[in-house]
Chains A and B, each alone.
Chain A
Amino acid sequence: GESVGLHLPTLSVQEGDNSIINCAYSNSASDYFIWYKQESGKGPQFIIDIRSNMDKRQGQRVTVLLNKTVKHLSLQIAATQPGDSAVYFCAENLNDYKLSFGAGTTVTVRA
């Protein structure tokens, strides 16, 4: 099966609320993780990344948390906006330049 996966395929969020998107990975040797955002009809777009020597990393309105003990990754989006509606993928670095992607979570923002 896939080494990277997401807990929920869909997430509906009220505009202004915080969103939390989860991802489980199975390869304990992975040392680098990325979150991508994919809008309808477009290619994936880099959001934020984190190395395995970190537990948390913050960007603009986004935070990635890494729990290596349970091999869990999450993406938190603060004050979710309509423009945040998209499919979100986590990906792990398997071998320097190869990424393994999860199936994705579709986030829908309700007005």
Chain B
Amino acid sequence: NAGVTQTPKFRILKIGQSMTLQCTQDMNHNYMYWYRQDPGMGLKLIYYSVGAGITDKGEVPNGYNVSRSTTEDFPLRLELAAPSQTSVYFCASSYSGSFDRQETQYFGPGTRLLVL
């Protein structure tokens, strides 16, 4: 299994441009998540999905959109890039989303985004 894969690894955007960060997992996980990580900070949850066709906002959703048309893919869309969105973006997935079975989230390698 490749686990969680993300593309691109690095991108520079101009203010106002749009782009889609891709995330794919091959572990048949139901739950998927998008986080952003600012320098010296922990991860902040942007959006999450509990299954295909279902998405919900996390802690910092403004300026982003997501979709979940398949179990495997969970793209993150930036419509009007702003300097405040300069960050490292991580996608993660987990099997059920419940910690009753002590299942954890598996993270992708991240996408580094710079907005100038």
Contacts and interface: CB of A to CB of B under 8 A. Distances in A.
A102 B97 CA distance: 20
Given A42-B110, A43-B108, A9 B102 contact: no
Nearest to B45: A98
Contacts of B45: 98-99
Given A43-B110, A49-B102, A97 B42 contact: no
A103 B98 CA distance: 24
Contacts of A91: 42-43
A102 B43 CA distance: 8
Given A9-B40, A42-B109, A43-B92, 14 more contacts: A31-B99, A32-B99, A41-B110, A43-B108, A45-B107, A46-B105, A51-B99, A89-B43, A91-B43, A97-B48, A99-B43, A100-B42, A101-B44, A103-B40
A88 B2 CA distance: 24
- Between A34, A93, A98, A99, the greatest number of chain B beta carbons within 10 A of the residue's beta carbon is seen for A99
B98 A97 contact: yes
Interface string A94-110: 00111111111000000
Contacts of A104: 40-42
26 contacts: A2-B42, A4-B42, A9-B40, A32-B99, A34-B104, A41-B109, A42-B110, A43-B92, A43-B108, A44-B107, A46-B105, A49-B102, A51-B99, A51-B102, A89-B43, A96-B99, A97-B50, A97-B97, A98-B48, A98-B58, A99-B45, A99-B105, A101-B43, A102-B42, A103-B41, A104-B42
Interface residues of A, number: 26
Interface of A: 2, 4, 9, 31-32, 34, 41-46, 49, 51, 89, 91, 93, 96-104
B94 interface: yes
Given A2-B42, A4-B42, A103-B40, A97 B104 contact: no
A102 B37 CA distance: 11
Contacts of A45: 107
